[in-house]
Every structure is written in C-alpha cells, then in structure tokens.
Amino acid sequence: QKSVAERTIVFHGSILEGKGPCVSSWPGKYESAWDVLVTGSRKGNVSAAVVFLPEGSEHFGCHDPIPEEENLEGSCWCIPVYGEQKRWGCRWWTKWMNNIEEAVRQGAELEVYFFAGMVGKGKVENFSMAGKEHLRREAIQGKLKQFLKSSEFQ
C-alpha cells in the first residue's frame, strides 16, 4: 500500500529546464486538477515546484532544521510556518523551497493558484508573522467547531 501511495500521490515537484511558467503554489482542494498537474509534470510537460508528502509516505512527519543564515527562531521550519511543530512535519517546505530556488535559477515565471474568489485574501503581513497567524486561525476554527457542537447552536 505504501509503494502505491509513493507512486501515485506523493509528489516532490519537477522543474523543467529553461524559461517558462512553473506552478509554484496549488490549493490541494482541487484534487482532479491536481492529478492532471502531477501527471503533466511527471510526463515532462509542466514545470511544477509544488510538493505533496501525504501520511504514510517516506518523508511525512520529517522535520528539517532552519539554516542559521535565515536568522529565524525555531528548531525546524514548522515554527515560522505554523507557529508550532506539526505531526506532518516540514520536509515538504524544504523540498518546496529548493524547487522554487531551482525554478528561479532557470528563469521560470512562478505561477500561484488560489481558491476561487480568494485572490488577495488571507495574506499575512510578512513571513515572520506566518506562524502566529496560523495559530490565530487555528484558535478561531477551534472556537467555531465548539460553537457548532454547542447546545446554543443546536
């Protein structure tokens, strides 16, 4: 079962040589379009920096240290990205950053895809605020879930 997941769902990105568009961000919600993107990239037709390391895959749950030259706090990339360590790890982030850097070296035009109607929404002030913002949103979602289960809502 793990080998099937590694062959079909896991995606480490694939940067094509030369200039051209490169998919650098993708909302995983669009599963069928994601499958088309991954298939096209695996066939060498689409340059894609995106990474997906699902549960059960080799790199799921792996944490990578932040290089000292980044001058960021935290034992791994989870801290600046999520505000705390996450069970799925941050190996995906390291692989994604490496892919982005390679795409830029190739002169690619980075493409970012959004949820429908969400362009310009959900931005954080800067990268140093990403983890704090993630924790804030998780807290709000937690309160919403509690409310939806409460007798007051029922």
Other C-beta atoms closer than 10 Å to the C-beta of 90 total 24
Percent of the chain residues topping a pLDDT of 70: 94
* Predicted pLDDT of residue 87: 96
Q: Which sign does the torsion angle of CA 80, 83, 84, 89 carry?
A: negative
Q: Which amino acid is at 6?
A: E
Going across the sheet that includes 108-112, the strands are: 47-48, 20-25, 108-112
| pTM > 0.75: yes or no | yes
* Alpha carbons 132 and 67: distance in angstroms, whole number: 20
- Dump pLDDT digits (tens) for 55-107: 989 999 999 999 999 999 999 999 999 999 999 999 999 999 999 999 999 99
Q: Average pLDDT for residues 126-133, to the nearest whole number?
A: 80
Nearest to 19 by CA among 107, 131, 147: 107
